[in-house]
Amino acid sequence: MCGIIGYIGDKKASEVLINGLSHLEYRGYDSSGVALSYKGEVEIYKAQGKLINLIEILKTKEDICSKSHLGIGHIRWATHGLPTTLNAHPHTCNCKSLTLVHNGIIENYQELKEELKSKGCTFVSQTDTEVAAHLIAQEYGKTKDLLCAMQNAVKKIKGAFAFCAIHKNEPDKIVVAKRNAPLVIGLGDGENFIASDIPAIIEYTKKAIYLSDYQVGVVTKNDVKIYDKDDKLIQNKVENLPFEAIAISKMGYKHFMLKEINEQSDVVRNVLSSKLVSSSENVVLNEFKLSKEKIKKITRVQIIACGTSLHAGLVGKYIIEQLAKIPVDVEASSEYIYRDTIADENTLVIGISQSGETADTITAIKQAKEKGSHIVIITNRADSTMARLADSLLPVNAGIEVSVAATKSYMAQLMSLYLLSFYLSEQKEIKEYSSIIKNLKQELIELPNKIELITQNPQNIQKIAKKYSSYKDFIFIARGINYPSALEGALKLKEISYINATGYCAGELKHGPIAMLDENMPVLAVLNTGIVYDKVLSNCEEARARQAKLIGVTNHIAEKDKGLFDDLIIIPQISDMASPALNIVVLQMLAYYIAEYLGKDVDQPRNLAKSVTVE
């Protein structure tokens, strides 16, 4: 679930809400809705699809829109339930008195739902959010106070949430709550705003309060009161927002890198939005300009990139070869440009760059273009040099990435490569992989929630990071599609902590690197259930026999094998082919927390630049 907006003041609430939602569209969404309060009544309007559909509905409701000065709004990315109008936010209780919007995921919604059903609640949607609406309404029935009802309800909810609620019996306030999901209150003169992100409200205010986890707030037009997890009133910490808040605000995070790691769930939603409608429908890739006939004539794919983008390309090689059955070469741009590469009109050349200004990759793309190859560019900057060289442009739209160490742009590149792989296979009409692709599509749809389960529960990763922050060397190992994850995990660690970290194919450990192993050399192994799981486990045994400290990142570990590892990080269940998108989040967080414990300049590591414009 993606974007929240709330307003109370003297302006037309509908206009503020729609304007705010329009500035949250970058987050990716499939439906929208608003609730407008007027004279003790609350009217709810929802629409499936793009925001323009909601705007058209509101045009026919001018009477309420012109009179309402309090409301809440939402854009939704479907998680629990299909992207329908019925499942769109806002949600309400059976008596229609309480109305709620929600960003996050309620982990114990099934248990709460059964309990609420036993008390007479009737559910009309498939969402987890409706559970919260009924629960808060039940508490309101006991307390007759919206603040107390929210405070009592959130204590029973497990998971992540940013709640924004109104009640027809208390038409002068909005009550909010936050845990592991972003929420900010913008302060105005005789008006106040609530949003998931600064872009929704930056044109109205330059002062804001960032809610912390477990806080609940009451927002009126002239006041904001914030309460801590013990329900005690606390002093508001007001921050001045810079003019370019979207670019340079840390949103309460200590570093931009941590903020950008946490933004990856929304990045996935945004990349998939409109391209991956459902698991049973073909990928829509209007930006790809080759016809079906020309796609069937492709004889090879060349992926050209540098650094983190190169590692994304290595994952792309695995999935394109597996699903589209086209041989793929992946090469560092700096190597590609200094040899006589074989490319022609039947070669698809994919250039990947966060900035679109990487000098080596630009040169390589120009060389391939001269040979008649079709050029696909995957970049975060649609206005860049590489974008202008493209025959097909796949902008990843990850938003401005401030931290030098790439995180969310890598995730966006992975998603683009998965989509491209699906698209090529579907255009080639390779029927035997349709069921595999269908399952992978569903996994990508569910991926944002699983990423959030990792980012919102960092305690184990933090503990392991602190334990290993004093080591001077590190080895990362994996096999198959996660070998690039080992490379990228090692790169992240050395980029920001300056620890000498190296990634290897796990099977290569015994062919040289094993000589370095002893009690002072930690080995991190990525091992997901699949064809190479047992082999990686054997490589872990080899490392353990040399007294190396052993960390496992896995979606499953047998009880008998747990004793092999000094430390384990368990990720949510996911297939081996989709697992790089979860494993990398763990490795990014581990690198971040190690660097933080070491007191490094996480966002601006020495000797590195965000955009490398020289060869």
Summary mean pLDDT of the chain: 90
Residue 612 has pLDDT above 80, yes or no: no
- Asked if residues 241 and 206 have their Cβ atoms less than 8 Å apart, the reply is yes
Q: What is the pLDDT of residues 561-595, one digit of tens each?
A: 899 999 999 999 999 999 999 999 999 999 999 99
d(CA 55, CA 25): 14
User: What pLDDT score does 1 carry?
Assistant: 45
Q: What is the pLDDT of residues 527-550, one digit of tens each?
A: 999 899 899 999 999 999 899 999
User: What pLDDT score does 27 carry?
Assistant: 58
d(CA 169, CA 165): 12
- Asked if residues 449 and 269 have their Cβ atoms less than 8 Å apart, the reply is no
- Asked if residues 18 and 55 have their Cβ atoms less than 8 Å apart, the reply is yes
User: What pLDDT score does 246 carry?
Assistant: 52
- Asked if residues 365 and 351 have their Cβ atoms less than 8 Å apart, the reply is yes
Active site residues: 2, 610
Q: What is the pLDDT of residues 80-130, one digit of tens each?
A: 788 888 888 899 988 889 999 998 888 898 899 899 889 988 888 888 899
**pLDDT tier at 448 (50, 70, 90 boundaries)?**
very high
Q: What is the pLDDT of residues 220-275, one digit of tens each?
A: 999 999 999 999 999 988 988 754 545 556 778 899 899 999 999 999 999 998 89
- Asked if residues 509 and 486 have their Cβ atoms less than 8 Å apart, the reply is no
Q: Which two tokens stand for residue 54?
A: 């909601």
| 542 closest CA partner among 560, 516, 576, 503 | 516
CA dihedral 209, 210, 213, 218 (to 10 degrees): 30
271 vs 25, more confident: 271
Q: Which two tokens stand for residue 392?
A: 């097909």
Q: What is the pLDDT of residues 126-170, one digit of tens each?
A: 888 999 999 999 999 999 999 999 999 999 999 888 999 999 999
CA atoms within 13 A on the CB side of 258: 17
CATH architecture of 3-250: 4-Layer Sandwich (3.60)
Tell me the H-state helices in 86-165: 109-118, 129-143, 146-154
| 304 closest CA partner among 374, 356, 353, 346 | 353
| 298 closest CA partner among 210, 383, 421 | 421
CATH 3.40.50.10490 residue ranges in the chain? 259-453, 457-597
- Asked if residues 456 and 283 have their Cβ atoms less than 8 Å apart, the reply is no
Tell me the Ramachandran region of residue 41: left when phi exceeds 0, alpha when psi lies from -120 to 50, beta otherwise. Answer: beta
Residue 72 has pLDDT above 50, yes or no: yes
d(CA 79, CA 304): 34
Give the per-residue SS3 of 532-575: CHHHHHHHHHHHHHCCCCEEEEECCCCHHHHHHCCEEEECCCCC
CATH 3.60.20.10 residue ranges in the chain? 3-250
Number of helices and strands (H, E) in the chain? 20, 25
Q: Which residues pair with 199 in a beta bridge?
A: none
| 213 closest CA partner among 266, 256, 160 | 160
Listed in sequence order, the residues at least 6 apart from 192 whose beta carbon sits closer than 8 Å to its beta carbon are 7, 8, 9, 185, 186, 219, 220, 221, 224
Residue type, 288: F
State in words which class domain 259-453 has: alpha beta
Q: Which residues pair with 176 in a beta bridge?
A: 164, 217
CATH architecture of 457-597: 3-Layer(aba) Sandwich (3.40)
User: What pLDDT score does 206 carry?
Assistant: 87
User: What pLDDT score does 28 carry?
Assistant: 60
Q: What is the pLDDT of residues 565-574, one digit of tens each?
A: 999 999 999 9
User: What pLDDT score does 401 carry?
Assistant: 80
203 vs 357, more confident: 203
- Asked if residues 18 and 54 have their Cβ atoms less than 8 Å apart, the reply is yes
User: What pLDDT score does 167 carry?
Assistant: 95
Q: What is the pLDDT of residues 488-505, one digit of tens each?
A: 999 999 999 999 999 999
